[in-house]
Amino acid sequence: MVRKIFRSPVMLIMPSILAIGFVIIIPLIFSFYTSFTSYKLTRPDSLFNFVGLRNYERLIDNAKFWYAFGRTILFLAVVLNLELLFGLGIALLINKITWGQRTLRTIMMFPMMFSPILVGFQWKYIFNDNIGLLNNFLYLFGYESAIPWLIDKYLAMGSIMVAEIWANTSIFAILLLAGLLGIPRDPIEAARVDGCNSWQVFKNITLPFLMPFVFIALTIRSLDVGRAYDIVHIMTGGGPAMRTELLWTMIARIGYKDANMGFANAMSYVSIILSIAFTYYFFTKLVAARRDLGQQ
């Protein structure tokens, strides 16, 4: 048995197992354990104060948490759909260009190059009610009221969505453009010879070929958006009155500012359900799309 363990294949993958163990598994086990304790960052001895399911029980009764949970789902749904729509549009347009496509592809990726913190500051300034670009632009056209973009019940969340979409639509565009460039020309040309119009070609040939790319992009971005923190933190900090509070701004505040890490970790583990659900859904769709194309 011991000899088996030390056989070369096991030894060869051992560094990877150890790396994954140290980097992923041990922190996961540790944080999961702390979710059953009253662990406070400022009181290291509280790490051993086991409270059973108390944090999870309190979570079930915590309306603010469930509002944030719901808001995060809404945020995910709107942002992912709009990014997909805009990304697809941009990819289709760039795919049509025969001259300067490389330059445009590079320009398209500019927003991705900014750190989310910079994006947050940039949009915070644009949406500032007093000295912001947007309101001052509106004043030029005779609008006489300062719109509280980052305060209003609906506009605040919308403003953050705009920033998130601006920063990340190009991820969709790049992935979908890669898909478009890989589509074989024969079925498209055959469809045109058979008299299909552009919409029919797009709907029946281009889109089915693109669907695996769409679902890969959706999976990657759903994990990203589900963890949205930086942009929200900079633009509104989850406020005012928790109107833009998402799961991770709430968890970060409870974990780091209140130093209540045990409770924050319980929140994190419940929140992970959301990421797992989205990932599972998109992967199921990805497999179905590949099956439709006759791929494994």
Partner 1 sequence: MKLFKSILTVISVFSLSFSAFAVDKSFPNDKVAMWGDFSGITLDVKLIGGAPYDPLYEVMIPIWEEKTGGKVSILSKKSHFELDKEIKQDIAAGNISYCVVSNHTSFATQYGDIYRDLNGIVPGDFLAEFVPLVLEHSTVDGRLVQLPQHSDVSNLWYIKSIYEDADNKKRFKAEYGYDLAPPETLEQWKEQAIFWSDPPNFYGTQYVGKEEAITGRFYELVIAEGGALFDDEWRPTFNDEAGQRALQWFVDLYNAQAVPAGVLNYLWDETGLGFASGTVALNLDWGGWGAYFNSADSKIGGDVGLVRFPMGSGGKRGGWSGSHTYSILNGCPEENLEAAASLIWILTNHEAQMHEARGGKLPTMTRVWDDIAGEMNAEGNAFMSDLFSTFKASMAEDAFTPPLIPEWIPFSNIIFPELQAAIVGDKTVKEALDAAAKETDYLMQDAGYY
Residue ranges that bind partner 1, judged by CB under 8 A: 41-44, 124-125, 128-131, 135, 139, 144-151, 153, 236-237, 239-243, 245, 253-254, 256-261
Decide whether 67 or 283 has the Cβ nearer to partner 1: 67
CA distance 161 to 248: 15
Closest distance between partner 1 and the C-beta of residue 159, in Å? 11
Decide whether 187 or 240 has the Cβ nearer to partner 1: 240
Closest distance between partner 1 and the C-beta of residue 131, in Å? 5
Decide whether 187 or 239 has the Cβ nearer to partner 1: 239
Decide whether 64 or 102 has the Cβ nearer to partner 1: 64
Decide whether 168 or 244 has the Cβ nearer to partner 1: 244
Closest distance between partner 1 and the C-beta of residue 288, in Å? 43
Closest distance between partner 1 and the C-beta of residue 19, in Å? 21
Closest distance between partner 1 and the C-beta of residue 272, in Å? 21
